[in-house]
């Protein structure tokens, strides 16, 4: 059973044709009877409303089908960088992958990202040069980009017969036959195998010899055949190709045009021939409950259960949880032990998934990818196992969000519901984060890009019927005293009965950093320790409130040097008010300097875009600290005011054609330029 399973994913840069390839596979295999086109919003695998409207894949979609007596579990992943987490979590459960490449553009920015993700999880892959019938298609250039941009040891096993509008077939270098496509039909079943045309024969023979030379380095049996001057048969070549592909030593390269059904059957055959089954992948290593000892169960149905939760999708009827079973058997209607929660969860119904539809099954065995309902607490990265044979596969790590947006309900009545819905979305999507800004009180949602957050907002409105107002989060400005000053603060009131009496002489001075320091230089017990705490509390609270500008005051040292108290009228409340009056007086006498948060931004970019990156950082009032080398790329480090960094991720992608990457972290505060401070002062008032 397991040797006939192929768990594969299709990954690529956006608009390389991943979903179209999947659609054609489903049609060829008889899983669907009517083709749906991405550009028409009718693709089977793009079943979400947002996907249909935008013509892009947003969430990874699973399906299953049969080809040549093999069971395929296929995941179609997004190509847009904002949804790269979908690729990340899919890679953990794949045995093999198809890397789709545009024949004109070659390996692009997101191709590099998904290739790194495949490398991270050791996923063997095939490369498929798609859109060979496009004007400007260049197979040789596309293959070269796989070597140069991705660093792959590629092994073309097909060469094109014609390119662009002249694309009419391909040569199978393993069988050394030509596959010709009819000009007047897009039926993938209508192709002819025959001898190689004379005009491509020389190239095909050269490419085949190159292929055999590479394979012979790893296959002794093939080497012996070649040394004896014999021609190896196709089965021996396939065997060597399979072994090297599974080892990750080479990446076989195929070609075609998915839109016109050309080359798709051969791609399916290659997936059977060269990509691994669960047995080839072997036992997936996990850890015992102690977290120290590594253990692994063989990918057999009779072994103890070991299954990984890799995705959850919310439905009004309950969450749908996607699971890869690495070992053992998962039964519907029975409990499974969640090793993170340390408790059992009942598995309701188990389904085979085909895009937006489901097929109920009684159990899932080692090697299968399924979905189930009934798991109420299990989340992405959790492990399901047997309590008496526990294993955990560890959580999945995701990139940190790079952009934030403030969100609030249009009515106060929806405030609690908004929090509940945002919690649901963050459980579905590990790269979506929600927090409350303690200083501004705003609800801030963060994600991987503007498109990512835009999709979330549309889901709030369309899927959850929740009307919200969005905007940029306010920048948390700070203030500090312009100079030092000594304040004699008095809070004395006498209105009959117990009065209020508190006197304190306090020295205020600005200090480096973001801290507040409080010192006591009182002599002779002029103010007790209890009342000094109240003075400190009054000063701290006023600093947090931010005074007239409502921007937190920081970098301040307050030293109490003298004071007076009354045996009857002094109280904690009186000395609290004395502290508030003191710092307010210091603000009025010395004035406050407005400070703004600064980010340390590190940008990695190809050398060709270095000038544009530096120019853009300068336009954002950034200060370049360092320019260095990062492999073949350049790395620019700069300090940039946070107020100038909204939508930086999108801007950087634009000026670097999607090839630039960056990280940022807080790097303290700096004085706000006077003209900007005046504008902010006007806004605050």
CA-nearest of 209, 241, 157, 658 to 451 is: 658
Residue with the larger pLDDT of the pair 172 and 189: 172
Burial of 193 (0-12, 13-18, 19+ CB in 10 A): exposed
First to last CA, the chain: 72
List, in sequence order, the alpha helices (H) in 282-326. none
The predicted-structure confidence for 135-170, as pLDDT tens digits, reads as follows 999 999 999 999 998 999 999 999 999 999 999 999
Q: Where are the domain boundaries for CATH 3.30.230.10 in the chain?
A: 478-590
Instruction: Determine the pLDDT at residue 430.
Output: 83
Report d(CA 253, CA 245) in Å as an integer.
11
Confidence of residue 493 (pLDDT cuts 50, 70, 90): confident
Instruction: Determine the pLDDT at residue 15.
Output: 77
CA-nearest of 147, 52, 273 to 61 is: 52
Q: Which of 54-68, 268-282, 316-330 has the highest mean pLDDT?
A: 268-282
Structure tokens at 460: 């709030």
Name the CATH code of domain 478-590 (choices 3.40.50.12780, 3.40.1370.10, 3.20.20.60, 3.30.230.10): 3.30.230.10
Q: Where are the domain boundaries for CATH 3.30.70.870 in the chain?
A: 403-471
CA-nearest of 356, 384, 352, 381 to 368 is: 352
Fold of 403-471: Alpha-Beta Plaits (3.30.70)
Instruction: Indicate the pairing of strand 61-67 with strand 516-520.
Output: unpaired
Instruction: Determine the pLDDT at residue 42.
Output: 44
Fold of 282-385: Elongation Factor Tu (Ef-tu); domain 3 (2.40.30)
The predicted-structure confidence for 363-412, as pLDDT tens digits, reads as follows 999 999 998 998 888 888 899 999 999 999 987 777 767 677 889 888 88
Instruction: Determine the pLDDT at residue 43.
Output: 43
The predicted-structure confidence for 209-255, as pLDDT tens digits, reads as follows 999 999 998 889 999 999 888 989 999 999 999 999 999 999 999 99
Contact, 634 vs 628, CB < 8 A? yes
CATH number of 596-684: 3.30.70.240
Instruction: Say what the pTM is.
Output: 0.70
CA-nearest of 508, 516, 499, 520 to 573 is: 499
- pLDDT(270) > 90: yes
- pLDDT(495) > 50: yes
What architecture is the 2-280 domain classified under in CATH? 3-Layer(aba) Sandwich (3.40)
Residues whose CB is less than 8 angstroms from the CB of residue 543 and which lie 6 or more positions away in sequence, other chains included: 516, 552, 553, 554, 556, 583
Mean of the pLDDT values across residues 618-638? 89
Residues whose CB is less than 8 angstroms from the CB of residue 608 and which lie 6 or more positions away in sequence, other chains included: none
Q: Where are the domain boundaries for CATH 2.40.30.10 in the chain?
A: 282-385
Report d(CA 452, CA 50) in Å as an integer.
11
């Amino acid at each position: 059973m397991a040797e006939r399973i192929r768990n594969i994913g299709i990954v690529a840069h956006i608009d390389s044709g991943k979903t179209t390839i999947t659609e054609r596979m489903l049609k060829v295999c008889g899983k669907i009877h009517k083709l749906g086109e991405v550009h028409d919003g009718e693709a089977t695998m793009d079943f979400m409303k947002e996907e249909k409207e935008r013509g892009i894949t947003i969430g990874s979609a699973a399906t299953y089908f049969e080809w040549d007596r093999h069971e395929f579990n296929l995941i179609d992943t997004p190509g847009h960088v904002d949804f790269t987490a979908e690729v990340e979590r899919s890679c953990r459960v794949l045995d093999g992958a198809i890397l789709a490449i545009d024949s004109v553009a070659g390996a692009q920015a997101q191709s590099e990202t998904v290739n790194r993700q495949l490398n991270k999880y050791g996923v063997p892959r095939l490369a498929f040069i798609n859109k060979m019938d496009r004007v400007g298609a260049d197979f040789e250039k596309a293959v070269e980009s796989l070597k140069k941009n991705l660093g792959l040891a590629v092994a073309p096993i097909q060469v094109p017969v014609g390119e662009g509008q002249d694309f009419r077939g391909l040569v199978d270098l393993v069988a050394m036959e030509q596959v010709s496509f009819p000009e007047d039909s897009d039926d993938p079943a209508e192709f002819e195998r025959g001898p190689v045309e004379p005009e491509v024969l020389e190239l095909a023979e050269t490419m085949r010899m190159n292929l055999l030379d590479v394979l012979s380095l790893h296959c002794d049996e093939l080497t012996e055949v070649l040394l004896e001057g014999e021609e190896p048969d196709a089965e021996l070549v396939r065997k060597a190709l399979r072994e090297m592909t599974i080892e990750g030593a080479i990446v076989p390269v195929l070609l075609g045009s998915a839109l016109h059904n050309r080359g798709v059957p051969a791609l399916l055959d290659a997936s059977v021939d060269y990509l691994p089954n669960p047995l080839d992948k072997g036992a997936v290593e996990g850890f015992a409950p102690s977290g120290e000892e590594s253990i692994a169960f063989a990918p057999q149905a009779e072994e103890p259960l070991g299954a990984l939760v890799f995705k959850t999708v919310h439905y009004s009827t309950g969450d749908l949880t996607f699971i890869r079973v690495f070992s053992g058997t998962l039964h519907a209607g029975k409990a499974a032990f969640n090793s993170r929660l340390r408790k059992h969860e009942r598995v309701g119904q188990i389904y085979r998934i085909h895009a937006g539809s489901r097929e109920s099954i009684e159990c899932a065995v080692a090697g299968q990818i399924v979905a189930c309902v009934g798991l109420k607490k299990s989340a992405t990265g959790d492990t399901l196992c047997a309590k008496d044979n526990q294993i955990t596969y560890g959580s999945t790590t995701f990139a940190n969000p790079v952009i934030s947006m403030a969100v609030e309900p249009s009515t106060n009545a929806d405030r609690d519901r908004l929090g509940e819905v945002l919690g649901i979305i963050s459980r579905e999507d590990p790269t979506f984060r929600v927090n409350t800004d303690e200083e501004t009180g705003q609800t801030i949602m963060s994600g991987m890009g503007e498109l990512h957050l835009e999709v979330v907002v549309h889901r709030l409105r369309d899927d959850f019927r929740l009307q919200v107002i969005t905007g940029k989060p306010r920048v948390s400005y700070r203030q500090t005293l312009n100079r030092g000053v000594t304040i004699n603060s008095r809070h004395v009131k006498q209105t009959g009965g117990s009065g209020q009496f508190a006197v304190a002489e306090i020295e205020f001075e600005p200090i480096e950093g973001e801290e507040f320091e409080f010192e006591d230089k009182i002599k002779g017990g002029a103010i007790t320790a209890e009342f000094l705490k109240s003075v400190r509390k009054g000063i701290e609270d006023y600093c947090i409130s931010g005074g007239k500008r409502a921007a937190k005051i920081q970098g301040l040292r307050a030293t109490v040097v003298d004071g007076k108290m009354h045996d009857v009228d002094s109280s904690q409340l009186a000395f609290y008010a004395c502290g508030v009056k003191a710092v307010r007086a210091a603000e009025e006498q010395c004035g406050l300097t407005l400070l703004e948060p600064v980010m340390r931004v590190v940008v990695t970019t190809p050398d060709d875009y270095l000038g544009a990156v530096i120019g853009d950082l300068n336009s954002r009032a950034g200060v370049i600290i360092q320019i260095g080398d990062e492999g073949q790329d350049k790395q620019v480090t700069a300090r940039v005011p946070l107020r100038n960094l909204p939508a930086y991720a999108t801007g950087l992608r634009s000026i670097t054609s999607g090839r630039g990457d960056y990280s940022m972290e807080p790097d303290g505060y700096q004085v706000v330029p006077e003209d900007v401070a005046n504008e902010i002062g006007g806004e605050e008032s």
